[in-house]
C-alpha cells in the first residue's frame, strides 16, 4: 500500500491501487491496464503512474515546449542523419532541463511512500497514451529501466522515459502513422521490481491460427525481457482454456536469463548453467496458474488478451501487463452464414465431396 | 525403415498354417472371389477389429452380415444419403474387412431432395419416432423370448391328433428357428433406423465447432453433447444399488457365502435378506441382459445366464461402500461440468455463430441419447435373448447326439442349421437314424482346428492402397479410421516405447499395465492397473471402478471405451493400433489421455 502522504500531489501521481476509471487517460495505456487489473483483484506489483500532467508541466516549464517545437519545425523524417541529430537535441533538452519542483517533489514523495528507506528496486517504464492503441502496435517504442533504486535515480529515469518519446524511431513511427509529434503525451509507471524466477507472456488465443480455445504461453528463466525481446527460444505451452488442460509442452534450451544483480543495483544478462537450460521453467501447476490468470483477464476485459507475467522467487505469480491481442482480433472476419437443421446435416455430409473436387 | 504406401492384397495373404480350408466356414458372398480380383484389389479395405476382434465361428458371421447390411441400407435405400452408400464387407482369414461405397458424382445431386424429405422427417419427428422404436424393439424382444426350442417328443401329442392339427412336432421347431432369424434380422434393421442420422447430426455440430476453433479437441465437443444418464449405465447402476442395499440393510455379509445359489440361500434367512433377493430378481429383467462381450459373439457371456459375474461386482462394490467410498458416478458434477464448458465455448463465439451453435448443439443433443442407449436395447438385451434361444436349440441337437458339446451348433452357419433341423426331423419322422450324429462331430472338430489356427494370426489393419485422404464421415466417426491413423499403420511401430492414439478422455496417470484379450480375463484386473486391450465393451463398466486408465488398439472418439472413460473420469487413449501386442502385463505406463500418448516407462 502506498501511504496517503498529503505531499503526493494527485495532479501528478496516480497510485495504481486507487486510480479511478476517469484517471485512466492521464496514466497512459500501460498504467491504466495495471490499475484495471488491480481493480479486478489480479495480483500486480504495487506502484504508481507519473501522470501525463507531470510531463505536460515539464514541457511547459522553462520554455521546453517552444524549444522542442523549434527543432520539430525543421524535422525531416526522410533524412536519417537530420532526424537522428534532432532526436538527440530534443532528448538532451528533455533530460537536462530541471523538472518543475512540485512534480519532482510528488515523485519523490510517492517513491518514499513505497519505500520509506528509499532503497526499493523499481521498474520505471514509459506508458505512452498512444502506445497500446489496438491499431497502432506502438509497444516497445519507449524505454524501460529495470532495477532502479533510490529517489534520485527514479526522477532521472522518469525524465529519460519522457525523452524516449523522441527517439528517431518513435518520431518516424508517428510520422508514418500520422500521429502528432508533440501532441502525444506520456505517463510513466514506477512499479516495484519483481525478482522473477521465471517470466513470460501468455496469449488467450493461438497466434498461429487464431483459435480462441487455446492459451499459448512462452516462458523462460529470469525476467520476461529475454522472452519479449526474442533473444532466446522460450519454453512453449499450449493450454486448452475451457478444460484447463496442458495440451503441449515444448521445452527449449534456454541459454540466457536476465536477473537482478542487487549489489550492482542493476540487472544482468547471464548464461544459464547447463543443467537448468533444458529444465522446464514452469511446473505444470504453474502453467495452469498462468493460464487461469490469463483466462480471468480475458473474461473480465472481454476479447483476446496479450499478457506479461512473472513468478518471483517465492513462487508468487503476478501480472505485469495486459493488452488486447491485435492481430487476429482485428482481422475482419468474413461474414458467416450457417446452414441449420437438416440443411446443416446435408452440408456436413456433402463437405468431403466438395473438398475432393 | 521405409514407409510402405500400400497394405497387402487379400489375394496375397495366405491362410495361417492349419487354416487352409477356412473358406469352408463362410458363405460365398462374404469371400474375396478369385474372379473378382481386379475389382476387389482396386478398393481400400480396413479391418473392423473394433466390433469383431476375433475370427468368426460360422454361425456368428450372421452378426456382421445383418449389421453391416442394415447399416448400408439406411444410407442407400431409406434416406438416400447423397454422397454415401453403405459399407461393403468381406471376411478374410476369419476377420472382417470393410470398404465404404461412394455414390457416383452424377447421382449425388438427384438424391438431395429425397434425403431432405426422408431424413428431414426423422429429424423433425425424432422423439415421437423414437418412442415408437422402443415399442417395436420391445415387442421384437418379447416375441423372441416366447420362442420355444423343445426336444422332439417320442410321438406327436395325442390332442394334436384328435384336434386334427395335421402337423408334426418338427414344424414348430423349424418355424421357431426361422422366426428367430427373422426377428434377428428385424433387430438389426431397427438398430440402424436412427443411428446413421444420429451420427450425421453429431458430425454437423462437430464440423461446426472445428470450423470455429480449428484445434478444439474432439473430447471437448463430445463432452458438450454426451448425456449424463444413459440406459447403458443402468445395469451397472443397478449393481451399485444392490451393493448399497446389502450394506444399509445389514445383509452384506451374506454376499461372501459362496456361489450365487449359496448367497441367495443365505439371504433367505432374514426379512432384510429376502427383501434383497426380491430387489436382485427385480433388477434382472431387463438389466441383466447385459454382456461382458459386445453382443456379436455366441460365446459372449450375459449376466442373466452367468449371475456370478454381477454378483462378483456387487461384492466388490459392497466392500467399497463398507469402507465408506463413494461408488456412484458423479452425475451432478458431470452435468455441471457439461453446462460450464458449453457456456464457455459458446461465449468464445461471435454472436452470429452463437445462434448456429445453439441450433446445432440442440440437434446433436436430441439425437445423441439414441447413439448411447440403443446399445443396451440391441447389443445387450435383444442379443442376450437371441443367443440364449440359439443355445436352447443347440442343446436340443446335443441331446439328440448331433454334437459333443452343448454349444457346438455355432460351428454351423445359419443355413446349415436349417439343414440340420431337417436332418433331425427327417430321422425322427422316418424312424431311422439322422445323419447328423455321424456327420457333424468330425466336421465340427475340423472347423474348431481351423478356427484355432485363424485365431493364432492377427488380422492386417487394412488391405490394398488407401486413398490419399479419408473423408468418409462414418468411417472416421465410427471406426476412428483417419488419414493419420492409416499412415501410422503403414509406417510400422516406430519408437517401441511410445504409442500414439486418439486423446479420447483427458487426464494423465502412471500405473501397471494389464493386457486383456477377452472378457473372460477381466477377473485378472487388479485395483489401480491400466487396462490395455484390443477393444472394450461398455459392459466392462464395473471394472472401470478399479482401473486407472484405458488404452485400446481400435476405436475413435465415440468408441465405447471413450464414452465410458469420459463418464468415469478416467484417462483413455484409443486407436493406438498395436498397444495390446506391444505392451505386456506388468510394464509401467504413462497414459496421457489429453494428448493421446502412451509411454512404456519400464519393463515388466
Give B407 to chain A, closest Cα distance, Å: 44
Q: Does B104 touch chain A (CB under 8 A)?
A: no
In angstroms, what separates the C-alpha of B97 from chain A's closest C-alpha?
Answer: 22
C-alpha to C-alpha distance for A286 and A288, rounded to whole angstroms = 5
Least reliable range by pLDDT among B360-364, B530-534, B543-547: B543-547
CB contact under 8 Å between B213 and A213, yes or no, is yes
Q: Which residue of A has its CA nearest to B219?
A: A243
Asked whether the beta carbons of B359 and B598 are under 8 A apart, the reply is: no
Is pLDDT of A138 > 60?
no
Q: What per-residue confidence (pLDDT) applies to B496?
A: 67
**In this structure, what is the dihedral angle of CA atoms B46, B48, B53, B56, given to the nearest 10 degrees?**
-100
Q: In what order do the strands lie in the sheet with B462-463?
A: B84-92, B95-102, B45-47, B462-463
Judge: B506–A245 Cβ closer than 8 Å, yes or no: yes
Contact B341 A243 (CB under 8 A): yes
Strands A305-312 and A317-324, sheet pairing:
antiparallel
pLDDT above 80 (res B542): no
Nearest to B204 among A243, A247, A348 (CB): A348
Residues of A in contact with B350 (CB under 8 A): 333, 336
> Over pLDDT 90: what percentage of chain A?
57
Coil vs helix vs strand at B379: helix
- pLDDT surpassing 80 at residue A133: no
Average of pLDDT values for B301-306?
A: 93
**In the block, residue with C-alpha cell 515523485:** A107
> Under an 8 A CB cutoff, do A341 and B123 touch?
yes
Please write the tens of the pLDDT for every residue from B54-64: 899 999 999 99
Q: Which residues contact A26 (CB under 8 A, 6 or more apart)?
A: A14, A49, A51, A52, A53, A187
Q: How many CB pairs under 8 A join A and B?
A: 110
The answer to whether ipTM exceeds 0.85 is no
- pLDDT for position B444: 98
- Would you place residue B114 in the very low, low, confident or very high pLDDT band (cuts 50, 70, 90)? very high
Nearest CA in chain B to A243: B341
Instruction: Name the nearest CA neighbour of B489 among B516, B519, B458.
Output: B458
B82 to A348: CB separation less than 8 angstroms, yes or no: no
Residues in chain B with CB shorter than 8 Å from the CB of A211 are 213-216
Q: Among candidates B29, B100, B89, which has minimal Cα distance to B64?
A: B89
Nearest-CA residue of chain B relative to A304? B348
Query: CA A226, CA A203: separation in Å to the nearest integer?
Result: 17
Is the domain spanning A196-324 CATH 3.30.470.20? The answer is yes
pLDDT digits (tens, 9 = 90+) for B458-473: 888 899 998 877 766 6
Q: Does pLDDT of A68 surpass 50? A: yes
- Give mean pLDDT, residues B7-20: 95
Q: Which of B76, B196, B212, B348 to mutate to test the interface with A (most CBs of A within 10 A)?
A: B348
Which of B83, B200, B350 has its CB closest to that of A353? B83
- Shortest Cα distance from A263 to chain B (angstroms)? 44
Are A338 and B356 an interchain contact pair (Cβ–Cβ within 8 Å)? yes
Q: CA-to-CA distance for B259 and B311, rounded, in angstroms? A: 9
Determine whether the interchain pair A333/B350 forms a contact, defined as Cβ–Cβ distance below 8 Å. Answer: yes
Q: Is the pLDDT of residue B558 over 60?
A: no
Answer whether A141's CB lies under 8 Å from A203's CB: no
Torsion angle of the four alpha carbons A135, A141, A142, A144, in this order, in degrees rounded to the nearest 10: 110
The residues that bridge with A237 in the sheet, in sequence order, are A217, A249
Q: Judged by CB atoms within 8 Å, which residues 371-410 of B form the interface with A? A: none
- Determine contact, residues B208/A344, Cβ cutoff 8 Å: yes
Name every chain B residue with its beta carbon within 8 A of the beta carbon of A337. Answer: 352
SS3 of B96, please?
Answer: strand
| pLDDT of amino acid B1 | 43
| pLDDT for residue B505 | 80
Average pLDDT score, chain A: 87
The pLDDT value recorded for residue B473 is 65
CB within 8 Å of chain A, chain B residues 78-97: 81-84
- Gap between the Cα atoms of B233 and B325, Å rounded: 19
Model confidence at B446, in pLDDT bands (50, 70, 90)? Answer: very high
Q: Is pLDDT at A357 greater than 50 in this prediction?
A: no
Whether B475 shows a pLDDT value over 80: the answer reads no
CA distance B328 to chain A (A): 23
Are A243 and B220 a contacting pair at CB < 8 A?
yes
State the distance between the two ends of chain A, measured CA to CA, in whole angstroms: 66
| Higher pLDDT among residues A52 and B227, named by residue | A52
Edge to edge, the sheet with strand A305-312 lists A245-250, A235-240, A214-221, A196-203, A305-312, A317-324
Among A89, A87, A93, A84, CA closest to A64: A93
What HEC string does chain A produce?
CCCCCCCCCCCCEEECCCCCHHHHHHCHHHHHHHHHHHHCCCCCCCEEEECHHHHHHHHHHHHHHHHHHHHHHCCCCCCHHHHHHHHHHHHHHHHHCCCCHHHHHHHHHHHHHHCCCCCCCEEEEEEECCCCCCCCCCCCCCCEEEEECCHHHHHHHHHHHHHHHHCHHHHHHHHHCCCCCCCCCEEEEEEECCCEEEEEEEECCCCCCCCCCEEEEEEEEECCHHHHCCCCCCEEEEEECCCCEEEEEECCCCCEEEEEECCCCEEEEEECCHHHHCCCCCCHHHHHHHHHHHHHHHHHHCCCEEEEEEEECCCCEEEEEEEECCCCCCCCCCCCCCCCHHHHHHHHHHHHHHHHC
CB contacts, 8 Å: A355 with chain B: 469, 471
Q: Which three cell numbers stand for residue B379?
A: 447389443
CA distance, residue A43 to nearest chain B CA (Å): 24
What average pLDDT does the segment B557-582 reach? 77
Total length of chain A: 357
B residues 450..469 contacting A (CB < 8 A): 469
Q: Which residues of A touch B120 (CB under 8 A)?
A: 341-342
Cell numbers linked to B468: 490419399
**pLDDT digits 0-9 by tens, A231-280:** 778 899 999 999 999 988 989 899 889 998 888 888 899 999 999 999 99
Q: How far apart are CA B509 and CA A184, in angstroms?
A: 55
Return the CATH class of domain B494-602. Answer: alpha beta
Mutation for A interface: B81, B108, B125, B213, most A CBs within 10 A: B213
Out of B124-128, B410-414, B502-506, least confident range: B502-506
pLDDT attached to residue B499:
84
Nearest CA in chain A to B83: A350
Residues of chain A with CATH 3.30.470.20: 196-324
With an 8 Å Cβ cutoff, is B352 touching chain A? yes
- State the pTM of this model: 0.81
With 70 as the cut, is the pLDDT of residue A142 above it? no
Q: Among partner residues B197, B200, B471, which is closest to A355 by beta-carbon distance?
A: B471
Q: What pLDDT is recorded for position A136?
A: 43
d(CA A130, CA A145): 20
B222–chain A nearest CA distance, Å? 13
Every domain range in chain B assigned CATH 3.50.30.10: 494-602
Task: Return the residue of A nearest to B114 by Cα.
Answer: A346
Please give the share of chain B, as a percent, with pLDDT higher than 90. 69
Binary contact (A212, B469; C-beta < 8 A): no
User: Are A348 and B215 inside 8 Å of each other by CB?
Assistant: no
Asked if A348 and B108 come within 8 Å (Cβ–Cβ), the reply is no
Distance from CA of B214 to the nearest CA of A (A): 6
pLDDT score recorded for residue B330: 86
- Nearest by CB to B84, from A337, A344, A349: name it: A349
DSSP assignments along B391-420, one per residue: HHHHHHHHHTTS-SSTTGGGGS-HHHHHHH
pLDDT bucket at A350, cuts 50 / 70 / 90: confident
Q: Give the mean pLDDT of A153-161.
A: 95
Could you tell me which chain B residue has the CA closest to the CA of A357? Answer: B105
The total of other beta-carbon atoms located within 10 Å of residue B342's CB is 19
Q: Label residue A303 left, alpha or beta by phi (over 0 means left) and psi (-120 to 50 means alpha).
A: left
When pLDDT is averaged across residues B382-389 and rounded to a whole number, the result is 98
Q: Which fold, A13-192?
A: Dna Ligase; domain 1 (3.30.1490)
pLDDT at B271 over 70: yes
At A43, is the pLDDT very low, low, confident or very high (cuts 50, 70, 90)? very high
> How many Cβ atoms are within 10 Å of B602's Cβ, its own excluded?
10
pLDDT, tens digit (0-9, with 9 covering 90-100), for A193-220: 999 999 999 999 988 888 999 999 999 9
Nearest-Cα distance to chain A for B472, in Å, is: 7
Looking at residue B436, its pLDDT comes to 97
A353 falls in which pLDDT band (50, 70, 90)?
A: very low
Spatial CA neighbour of B283 closest among B327, B235, B246:
B235
Which residues is A148 bridged to in the sheet?
A122
Q: Which of B82, B120, B352 sits opposite A349 (nearest CB)?
A: B82
Amino acid at each position: 500500500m502506498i501511504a496517503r502522504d498529503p505531499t503526493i500531489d494527485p495532479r501528478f501521481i496516480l497510485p495504481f491501487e486507487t486510480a479511478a476509471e476517469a484517471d485512466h487517460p492521464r496514466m497512459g495505456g500501460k498504467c491504466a491496464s495495471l490499475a484495471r487489473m488491480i481493480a479486478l483483484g489480479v495480483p500486480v506489483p504495487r506502484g504508481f503512474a507519473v501522470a501525463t500532467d507531470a510531463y505536460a508541466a515539464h514541457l511547459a516549464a522553462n520554455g521546453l515546449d517552444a524549444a522542442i517545437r523549434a527543432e520539430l519545425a525543421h524535422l525531416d523524417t526522410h533524412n536519417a542523419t537530420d532526424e537522428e541529430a534532432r532526436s538527440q537535441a530534443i532528448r538532451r533538452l528533455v533530460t537536462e532541463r530541471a523538472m518543475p519542483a512540485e512534480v519532482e517533489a510528488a515523485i519523490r514523495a510517492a517513491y518514499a511512500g513505497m519505500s520509506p528507506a528509499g532503497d526499493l528496486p523499481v521498474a520505471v517504464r514509459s506508458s505512452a497514451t498512444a502506445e497500446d492503441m489496438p491499431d497502432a502496435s506502438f509497444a516497445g517504442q519507449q524505454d524501460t529501466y529495470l532495477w532502479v533504486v533510490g529517489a534520485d535515480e527514479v526522477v532521472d529515469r522518469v525524465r529519460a522515459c519522457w525523452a524516449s518519446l523522441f527517439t528517431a524511431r518513435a518520431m518516424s513511427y508517428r510520422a508514418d502513422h500520422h500521429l502528432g509529434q508533440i501532441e502525444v503525451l506520456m505517463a510513466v509507471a514506477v512499479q516495484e521490481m519483481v525478482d522473477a524466477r521465471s517470466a513470460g507472456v501468455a496469449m488467450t488465443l493461438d497466434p498461429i491460427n487464431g483459435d480462441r480455445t487455446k492459451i499459448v504461453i512462452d516462458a523462460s528463466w529470469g525476467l520476461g525481457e529475454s522472452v519479449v525481446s526474442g533473444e532466446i527460444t522460450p519454453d512453449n505451452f499450449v493450454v486448452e482454456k475451457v478444460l484447463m488442460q496442458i495440451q503441449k509442452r515444448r521445452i527449449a534450451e534456454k541459454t540466457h536469463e536476465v536477473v537482478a544483480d542487487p549489489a550492482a543495483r542493476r540487472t544482468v544478462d547471464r548464461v544459464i548453467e547447463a543443467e537448468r537450460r533444458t529444465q522446464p521453467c514452469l511446473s505444470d501447476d504453474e502453467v495452469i496458474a498462468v493460464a487461469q490468470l490469463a483466462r480471468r483477464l480475458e473474461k473480465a476485459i472481454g476479447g483476446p488478451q496479450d499478457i506479461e507475467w512473472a513468478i518471483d522467487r517465492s513462487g508468487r505469480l503476478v501480472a505485469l501487463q495486459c493488452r488486447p491481442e491485435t492481430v487476429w482480433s482485428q482481422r475482419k472476419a468474413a461474414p458467416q452464414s450457417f446452414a441449420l437443421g437438416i440443411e446443416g446435416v446435408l452440408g456436413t455430409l456433402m463437405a468431403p465431396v466438395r473438398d475432393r473436387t | 525403415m521405409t514407409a510402405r504406401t500400400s497394405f497387402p492384397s487379400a489375394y496375397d495373404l495366405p491362410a495361417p498354417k492349419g487354416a487352409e480350408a477356412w473358406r469352408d466356414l463362410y458363405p460365398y458372398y462374404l469371400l474375396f472371389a478369385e474372379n473378382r480380383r481386379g475389382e476387389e484389389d482396386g478398393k481400400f479395405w480396413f479391418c473392423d477389429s473394433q466390433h469383431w476382434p476375433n475370427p468368426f465361428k460360422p454361425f456368428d458371421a450372421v452378426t456382421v452380415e445383418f449389421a453391416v447390411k442394415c447399416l448400408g441400407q439406411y444410407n442407400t435405400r431409406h434416406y438416400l444419403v447423397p454422397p454415401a452408400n453403405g459399407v461393403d464387407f468381406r471376411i478374410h482369414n476369419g476377420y472382417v474387412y470393410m470398404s465404404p461405397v461412394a455414390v457416383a458424382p452424377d447421382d449425388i445431386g438427384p438424391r438431395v431432395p429425397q434425403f431432405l424429405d426422408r431424413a428431414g422427417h426423422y429429424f423433425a419427428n425424432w422423439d415421437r419416432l423414437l418412442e415408437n422404436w422402443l415399442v417395436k424393439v420391445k415387442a421384437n424382444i418379447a416375441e423372441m423370448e416366447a420362442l420355444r426350442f423343445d426336444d422332439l417328443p417320442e410321438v406327436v401329442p395325442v390332442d394334436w391328433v384328435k384336434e386334427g392339427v395335421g402337423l408334426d412336432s418338427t414344424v414348430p421347431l423349424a418355424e421357431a428357428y426361422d422366426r428367430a432369424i427373422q426377428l434377428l434380422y428385424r433387430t438389426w434393421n431397427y438398430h440402424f433406423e436412427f443411428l446413421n442420422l444420429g451420427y450425421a447430426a453429431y458430425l454437423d455440430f462437430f464440423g461446426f465447432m472445428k470450423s470455429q476453433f480449428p484445434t478444439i479437441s474432439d473430447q471437448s465437443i463430445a463432452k458438450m453433447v454426451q448425456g449424463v444418464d444413459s440406459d447403458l449405465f443402468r445395469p451397472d447402476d443397478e449393481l451399485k444399488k444392490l451393493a448399497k442395499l446389502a450394506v444399509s440393510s445389514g445383509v452384506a455379509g451374506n454376499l461372501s457365502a459362496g456361489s450365487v445359489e449359496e448367497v441367495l440361500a443365505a439371504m433367505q434367512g432374514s426379512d432384510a435378506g429376502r427383501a434383497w433377493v426380491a430387489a436382485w430378481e427385480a433388477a434382472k429383467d431387463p438389466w441383466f441382459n447385459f454382456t461382458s462381450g459386445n453382443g456379436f459373439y455366441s460365446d459372449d457371456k450375459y449376466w442373466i445366464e452367468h449371475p456370478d459375474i454381477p454378483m462378483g461386482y456387487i461384492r466388490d462394490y459392497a466392500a467399497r461402500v463398507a469402507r465408506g467410498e463413494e461408488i456412484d458416478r458423479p452425475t451432478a458434477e458431470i452435468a455441471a461440468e457439461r453446462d460450464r464448458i458449453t457456456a464457455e465455448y459458446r461465449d468464445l463465439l461471435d454472436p452470429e455463430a452463437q445462434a448456429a451453435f445453439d441450433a446445432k448443439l440442440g440437434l446433436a443433443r436430441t439425437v445423441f441419447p439414441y447413439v448411447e442407449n440403443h446399445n443396451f436395447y440391441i447389443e445387450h438385451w435383444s442379443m442376450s435373448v437371441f443367443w440364449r434361444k440359439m443355445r436352447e436349440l443347440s442343446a436340443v441337437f446335443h441331446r439328440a447326439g448331433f454334437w459333443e458339446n452343448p454349444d457346438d451348433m455355432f460351428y454351423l452357419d445359419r443355413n446349415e442349421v436349417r439343414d440340420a433341423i431337417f436332418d433331425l426331423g427327417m430321422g425322427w419322422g422316418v424312424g431311422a437314424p439322422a445323419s447328423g450324429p455321424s456327420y457333424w462331430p468330425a466336421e465340427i472338430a475340423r472347423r474348431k482346428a481351423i478356427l484355432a489356427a485363424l485365431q493364432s494370426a492377427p488380422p492386417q489393419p487394412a488391405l490394398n492402397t488407401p486413398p490419399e485422404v479419408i473423408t468418409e464421415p462414418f468411417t472416421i466417426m465410427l471406426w476412428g479410421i483417419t488419414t493419420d491413423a492409416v499412415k501410422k499403420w503403414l509406417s510400422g511401430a516406430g519408437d517401441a516405447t511410445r504409442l500414439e492414439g486418439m486423446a479420447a478422455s483427458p487426464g494423465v496417470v502412471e500405473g501397471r499395465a494389464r493386457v486383456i484379450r477377452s472378457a473372460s480375463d477381466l477377473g485378472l484386473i487388479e485395483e489401480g492397473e491400466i487396462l490395455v486391450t484390443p477393444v472394450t465393451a461398455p459392459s466392462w463398466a464395473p471394472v472401470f471402478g478399479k482401473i486407472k486408465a484405458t488404452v485400446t488398439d481400435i476405436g475413435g472418439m465415440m468408441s465405447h471405451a471413450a464414452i465410458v472413460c469420459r463418464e468415469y473420469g478416467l484417462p483413455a487413449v484409443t486407436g493406438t493400433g498395436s498397444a495390446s501386442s506391444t505392451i505386456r502385463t506388468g510394464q509401467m505406463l504413462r497414459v496421457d489421455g489429453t494428448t493421446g500418448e502412451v509411454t512404456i516407462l519400464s519393463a515388466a
